[in-house]
Amino acid sequence: MPHALVLRRRVQFYETDAAGIVHFSTFFRYMEEAEHALWRENGISIFPAQPTHGWPRVAASFDYRRPLRFEDEFEIHLEVTRISTRSLTYGCRMIARGDLVAAGSMTIACIQRDGEHGMRAVPIPEAIVALFSPSSPEASADKPASPAASADKLVPPLAKADERA
Amino acid sequence: MPHALVLRRRVQFYETDAAGIVHFSTFFRYMEEAEHALWRENGISIFPAQPTHGWPRVAASFDYRRPLRFEDEFEIHLEVTRISTRSLTYGCRMIARGDLVAAGSMTIACIQRDGEHGMRAVPIPEAIVALFSPSSPEASADKPASPAASADKLVPPLAKADERA
Amino acid sequence: MPHALVLRRRVQFYETDAAGIVHFSTFFRYMEEAEHALWRENGISIFPAQPTHGWPRVAASFDYRRPLRFEDEFEIHLEVTRISTRSLTYGCRMIARGDLVAAGSMTIACIQRDGEHGMRAVPIPEAIVALFSPSSPEASADKPASPAASADKLVPPLAKADERA
Amino acid sequence: MPHALVLRRRVQFYETDAAGIVHFSTFFRYMEEAEHALWRENGISIFPAQPTHGWPRVAASFDYRRPLRFEDEFEIHLEVTRISTRSLTYGCRMIARGDLVAAGSMTIACIQRDGEHGMRAVPIPEAIVALFSPSSPEASADKPASPAASADKLVPPLAKADERA
């Protein structure tokens, strides 16, 4: 039941732009690729053939430090940094040749369909909370000390760490 | 009931690649943009909220003559070049500053859902055939003389014209 | 010399995903589209044929409120919310049918090439600072009262406003 | 010195569209991914840091048989089907669960920069011709019997085979 994952990836040509580097919007696709790989590692799909829940993104951000170029190899370090009742936050770092390339975060909500095009936020199923909850002591060091303080206020620890850097 | 359309467009930065030109896969997106604009011109959506039919692509091709670069303005000339019972073919030309940039074609089939993930080809609804059928004498000059000769053999006239050029 | 712009746009099919909505990464492309349109409104290109400066993105974020679907019409409201010596920040709001769809921000740095693949941050040319500086009283209300307080600390006012909402 | 390659791949979410399947333009990106992997297998990059030649696409096409969906695993079978003096053609087949999903081809030209934005077709360097030339008897069966007959007329054998199917 991993709550974190490292994905190795190579930059594809169609991910670059005329400035010769990976387009900044592509990093969000990389982060999502790692997210879906993490769900598969836990034996589930975020978008199965008969979905009972949906997982729309409610926030996403990246800070960029270094460019990536065509054929660069890099690692996507993704971890679940926070689970609240109705949402889940990931922290993400891209690393190439040992250097930080970009750090980001993404928060997704748990929803169910409500009529034709409606959707309403619902609690994340217990089984999924269990899959993504960090169980090791190091991992829990990333979590807010007081559960009360964290209720539905989404603070990505990775982003915080970056501010110190 | 137009069966053809010219769409003016400007190259966006995210459509370019590290070679400094529009990525070749993007031309297929441009062609589809013009297709959907043509359907809207005819008062219909190719993918409405409650679709009765689907229109998967069965073939698509482009010949590239000149590159497009960031912020280039160009025109997408799209026309329905052929309608058979179950499929419809477009010819497409991209023009920038009076020069041919690329010429392509795309054939779509008319399908209906069949069970969970199945689909089967069905005849194009008469109302849609009527919308896209060329009515002017010049336009019909593009169509095969004999209906028998054309039966479900998809020949894009635009591509033919290119071979002569 | 506008420092803000509203761009009207329609959702293209290739911008949607299997959940039936615009993929979250696409919003960053929309924001950039509006950015480049704003530069053109000011008579300049962010990536001319012979660039003297580069403008890599150093941060980008979005908060998502409502989904966009195929063929939805929407507006991208973009404004320069901050200019520091070496970077420039935009605030962005997507509006559809009068409702807020997403709010984001993006910070770009001004760089010059340094050797083969190197780049170093340089001051934004005065002429460009002048183009993007808000001149109206309402606009300057968005800017920090004290220049000292703002020195190279990038705070997007739009995001702040959202927290109050 | 392989002239063919099989690449295993999984469908990513951002590659799907609102119809629930991989967008047809994405197949061209898959084909290019396999192309660049094939060049790397031969120890070269199609777009190195200091390129001496460029390889613009002059034609690309796909025939689609079956849809691909999110998380589907599939194989990209790519092979060099033809080398002429100034261009090179690939045939490509996508296979999922043993079924043909799509078959396509792509022709690239060999060019060199000529002034600012100009490019002119030049002969493919001998070393590269050698890398991609099929050497096995079966492979050469795919090539035209007479070199004279093939001069710069680009016929993708894979597409031909499909017509028989």
| pLDDT tens-digit series, residues A53-109 | 999 999 999 999 999 999 999 999 999 999 999 999 999 999 999 999 999 999 999
The residue count for chain D: 165
Beta carbons of C14 and B36 less than 8 Å apart: no
Token code pair at residue B100: 């041919």
Provide, for chain B, the percentages of residues in helix, strand and coil under a 3-state DSSP scheme, each rounded to the nearest 5. Answer: 25, 35, 40
- Selecting from B21, B29, B54 the residue whose C-beta is nearest the C-beta of D19 gives B54
Asked whether D27 and D9 are in contact (CB, 8 A), the reply is: no
% of chain B at pLDDT higher than 90: 74
Task: Give the integer Cα–Cα distance in Å for A7 and A27.
Answer: 13
Per-residue pLDDT, B49: 92
CA angle A13, A16, A21 (to 5 degrees): 125
- Selecting from D54, D59, D63 the residue whose C-beta is nearest the C-beta of B62 gives D59
Task: Give the integer Cα–Cα distance in Å for A66 and A57.
Answer: 25
Token code pair at residue C62: 């979005």
Provide, for chain A, the percentages of residues in helix, strand and coil under a 3-state DSSP scheme, each rounded to the nearest 5. Answer: 25, 35, 40
DSSP letter for each residue of B18-85: TTSSB-TTHHHHHHHHHHHHHHHHTT--SS-SS-SSB--EEEEEEEE-S---TT-EEEEEEEEEEE-S
- Selecting from B17, B69, B116 the residue whose C-beta is nearest the C-beta of A13 gives B17
- The highest-level CATH class for domain B4-137 is alpha beta
- Nearest residue in chain A measured CA to CA from B69: A18
Residue, of D159 and B36, whose pLDDT is higher: B36
Give yes or no for residue B15 having a pLDDT over 50: yes
**Per-chain mean pLDDT for chain D:** 85
Q: Where are the domains of chain B?
A: 4-137
For A148, how many CA atoms within 13 A lie in the half-sphere containing its CB? 0
Task: Give the integer Cα–Cα distance in Å for A124 and A109.
Answer: 8
Per-residue pLDDT, D23: 98
In angstroms, the separation between the Cα of residue D4 and the nearest Cα of chain A is 19
**Average pLDDT of span D105-130:** 91
Beta bridge partners of B94: B76, B102
Give yes or no for A133 touching C (CB within 8 A).
no
Task: Give the integer Cα–Cα distance in Å for B72 and C97.
Answer: 31
Asked whether A110 and A124 are in contact (CB, 8 A), the reply is: yes
The ipTM value here is 0.82
Q: Which of D17, D72, D114, D162 is catalytic?
A: D17
Q: What is the DSSP letter of A163?
A: H
pLDDT in tens, A66-81: 999 999 999 999 999 9
DSSP letter for each residue of C106-140: EEEE-EEEETTTEEEE-PPPHHHHHHHS--SHHHH
Residue, of B127 and B165, whose pLDDT is higher: B127
pLDDT in tens, A3-44: 999 999 999 999 999 999 999 999 999 999 999 999 999 999
Beta carbons of C18 and D116 less than 8 Å apart: no
